[in-house]
């Protein structure tokens, strides 16, 4: 079982370019999340999805979009990258329909540099 995979591992991108970060989970979790982590700081939530077909905005959604066409995949798109989007991006998932506590499982991250 792979858990959560993210691609690419790292990317250098020119400002103004479009970029999609991929995230796939094989745990059949209903909820998925995208966080960004800037140097020396904690993670901040960008977007989340409660279940396939629904998405919601997190703490820092501007400049990012997401889609959730199926349970397993939750891509994050930067329509026109800017240098302030240089960060490490983490995807996570959880089984929130179980009720009670639902542990979040995180992917290995994508390191994105926008020049």
Partner 1 sequence: DAKTTQPNSMESNEEEPVHLPCNHSTISGTDYIHWYRQLPSQGPEYVIHGLTSNVNNRMASLAIAEDRKSSTLILHRATLRDAAVYYCILRAVGRGAQKLVFGQGTRLTINP
Among 56, 69, 70, 79, binds partner 1 (CB under 8 A): 56
Among 19, 43, 81, 112, binds partner 1 (CB under 8 A): 43
How far is Cα 37 from Cα 57, in angstroms, rounded to an integer?
17
CA dihedral 62, 68, 78, 103 (to 10 degrees): 70
Q: Count Cα neighbours of 18 within 13 Å in the Cβ-side half-sphere.
A: 4
Among 44, 52, 61, 67, binds partner 1 (CB under 8 A): 44
Q: Is 95 left (phi over 0), alpha (psi -120 to 50) or beta?
A: beta
Cβ-based nearer residue to partner 1, 18 or 57: 57
Is residue 42 part of the contact set for partner 1 (CB under 8 A)? Answer: yes
**Contacts of partner 1 in 80-99 (CB under 8 A):** 90, 92, 94, 96-97, 99
Coil vs helix vs strand at 91: strand
The residues binding partner 1 (CB under 8 A) are: 31, 33, 35, 40-45, 48-50, 56, 58-59, 90, 92, 94, 96-97, 99-109
């Amino acid at each position: 079982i792979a858990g959560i995979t993210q691609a690419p591992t790292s990317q250098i991108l020119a400002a103004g370019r479009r970029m999609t970060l991929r995230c796939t989970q094989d745990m059949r979790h209903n909820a998925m999340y995208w966080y960004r982590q800037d140097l020396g700081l904690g993670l901040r939530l960008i977007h989340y999805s409660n279940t396939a077909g629904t998405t919601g905005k997190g703490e820092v959604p501007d400049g990012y979009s997401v889609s959730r066409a199926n349970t397993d995949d939750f891509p994050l798109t930067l329509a026109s990258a800017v240098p302030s989007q240089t960060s490490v991006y983490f995807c996570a998932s959880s089984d929130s329909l179980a009720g009670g506590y639902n542990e979040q499982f995180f992917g290995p991250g994508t390191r994105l540099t926008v020049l």
